[in-house]
Amino acid sequence: MTLPIRNVAIIAHVDHGKTTLVDALLRQSGIFREGEDVPDCVMDSNAIERERGITILSKNTAVHYKDTLVNIVDTPGHADFGGEVERVLGMVDGCLLIVDANEGPMPQTRFVLKKALEKGLRPIVIVNKIDRPQADPHGAIDKVLDLFLELGADDDQCDFPYLFASGLSGYAKEQLEDEGVDMQPLFEAILRHVPPPVGDINKPLQLQVTTLDYSEYLGRIVIGRIHNGVIKAGQQAALVKENNEIVKAKITKLMGFEGLKRIELEEASAGNIVAVAGFGDANIGETITTPDDPQALPLIKVDEPTLQMTFSVNDSPFAGQEGQFVTSRQLRDRLMRELETNVALRVEETDSPDKFLVSGRGELHLGILIETMRREGYEFQVSQPQVIYREVNGQPCEPFEYLVLDVPEESVGGCIERLGQRKGEMQDMQVGGNGRTQLDFVIPARGLIGFRGEFMRLTRGEGIMNHSFLEYRHLSGDVELRRNGVLIAFEEGTATFYAMKNAEDRGVFFITPGVKVYKGMIVGEHNRSQDLDLNICKTKQLTNHRAASGDELVQLQAPVEMSLERALEYIGPDELVEVTPQSIRLRKLSKKLVKR
């Protein structure tokens, strides 16, 4: 006899507490031994996820509550990883929508909720972080209802169940005045409001691939939900490819989920989420079915990318010194391999064999790919991100973003002015009682390129900025993207304290003395609008009148640290970011320097 099943996804805006809530559910279910050392955000297993404190890849876990198997899918909260959300919503029959009790619905809440409603799911709303100061749980519920109505939810979806919770403290409750004890009310709500999976075990097998994994022993592992039929370890099966080609293979291993582990299964039936080995060339959206009567499920539709940049072989004077993989073939193979698991990514070959056009959902989406590749030992260079234009009903259109800013009151005027110059239209303005103001804008995606650094300066580092893709609209005209010129190294060598101190009044530097530079490398930002080339390798001529210790008390201004994201936002159309496992450098596209 098979256990009753509930398949549920956890969706929310970034940093509203999804992964922490999953931690609490896992602890409540008793999958950890008493005294076992369990890290926070246990589902964020990827190194970059742990460093940044965000979920990038969707992940599966399963827990037993009473006599029911609850499959839980943790999804990313950032709209740049919306492809992860879109593909896993087809695996589940319900979802938990988590909203911060203080912030209420944010741009990504709108994005993930819209996808869930389109799938016909009826969300259970969880108002999280109710134990924080300035939390307004009932206000958050009202805002969520407004969002449901705005997104066109039906009457049944608008009559959503809701709970109040604190993932960090490990409790959920139905009424605010109730005492918070544990997560049992949430488990009960899942059993009550999430329907059991539909599917006929007597029909031929149909399993849709939604996630890909890899094992050194088993090769490619596909994860998906069984929509119909029964699957058994060792049986013969067929894979219906995207082009309707049929590939036959044997199921070498069948696994289910229990807590954070995968357990071997002999068989599984409709409604279960399982991992299957044996199909080495399966891709996301394809269907595993019976070889006698192969029936494919509809392919998973994912929103198209909105941003693109060129990845090319590094051709700087320092090329090949720090990377392990530096050739165009290695770069191409790695990008093609990424396509197998990253459904929202597109890679196109160009006229040049050394350049590839890579399209994604946003700067963060592409930035994570670049960061992952450099950690793997790849060395390459990338161009400025550009938005992707499309024709809609014969009219040229561009992507627009929904932008929410949370800023100190004294920064409101500056932010509105700058976004106006970037063609942003203010939709709403809410003044909070804590000296902060929330501003809502609709703005062309190209108007946001390079804005984050400027926003941090305008708000003195105190502003919070969130945005997500809204829709394609007609072109909005020229966007004013103002930026100062750059300081460019005049020759190859090592930057010296003496030369940098003499040029300090020209602008701010991105490097420190002792850094190796080459001709055409960007070393700082000029305090004027034009570019300026500098000899920053010039050394001080020492004589018996000038002691070498004369500089000891003189200090340079602190340089501006150029992280990968900051560099991608900063560069102009005629500039590149050189990416190696050890360095992030900025350089001019052309090696010709500005005339003195």
Average pLDDT of the residues in 140-167? 85
Residue 130 marked ligand-binding: yes
249-256: average pLDDT: 89
Model pLDDT for residues 74-130, shown as the tens digit of each residue: 776 555 555 567 677 778 888 888 888 887 787 667 777 887 888 888 889 989 888
Q: Which CATH architecture has domain 486-588?
A: Beta Barrel (2.40)
Q: Per the annotation, does 128 bind a ligand? A: yes
At the fourth CATH level, the homologous superfamily of domain 5-193 is P-loop containing nucleotide triphosphate hydrolases (3.40.50.300)
Alpha carbons 16 and 126: distance in angstroms, whole number: 10
Whether 129 has a binding-site annotation, put simply, is yes
Label residue 574 exposed, middle or buried (CB < 10 Å: 0-12, 13-18, 19+): exposed
Which band of pLDDT confidence, cut at 50, 70 and 90, is reported for residue 543?
Answer: low
CATH 3.30.70.240 fits 390-474, yes or no: yes
Q: What is the pLDDT of residues 183-197, one digit of tens each?
A: 888 888 888 888 888
Among residues of the chain, what percentage have pLDDT more than 70? 86
3-state secondary structure 468-520: EEEEEEECCCCCCCCCCCEEEECCCEECCHHHHHHCHHHEEECCCCCCEECCC
The answer to the question of whether 20 is labelled as a binding residue is yes
What pLDDT does residue 523 have? 92
- CATH 3.30.70.240 domain locations along the chain: 390-474
CA distance linking residue 53 with residue 47, whole number of Å: 10
Would you say residue 595 has pLDDT above 50? no
115: left (phi over 0), alpha (psi -120 to 50) or beta: alpha
131 is in an annotated binding site: yes
For 61-92, b/e burial (b = at least 16 CB within 10 A) is: bbbebeeebbbbbbbbbbbbbbbbbbbbbbbb
Cα radius of gyration rounded to whole Å, the chain: 27
- State residue 47's pLDDT score: 54
Question: Would you give the distance in Å from CA 16 to the centre of its chain?
Answer: 15
Q: Is 545 annotated as a binding residue?
A: no
CATH entry 3.40.50.2020 includes domain 206-289? no
> Taking 80 as the threshold, does the pLDDT of residue 367 lie above it?
yes
Domain 307-387 maps to which CATH number in 3.10.130.10, 3.30.70.870, 3.30.1370.60, 3.40.30.10? 3.30.70.870
Listed in order, the ranges of the chain carrying CATH 3.40.50.300 are 5-193
- What's the mean pLDDT when you consider all of the chain? 81
Tokens 């219906």 belong to which residue? 240
State if pTM tops 0.75.
Answer: no
Q: Which of 235-244, 266-275, 340-349 is predicted with the least confidence, judged by mean pLDDT?
A: 340-349
In this prediction, residue 79 carries a pLDDT of 54
Residue 35 in this model has a pLDDT that exceeds 50: no
Q: Where in the chain is the domain with CATH 3.30.70.870?
A: 307-387
Q: How far, in Å, are 43, 183, 202, 375 from residue 187 at the CA level?
A: 19, 7, 30, 39
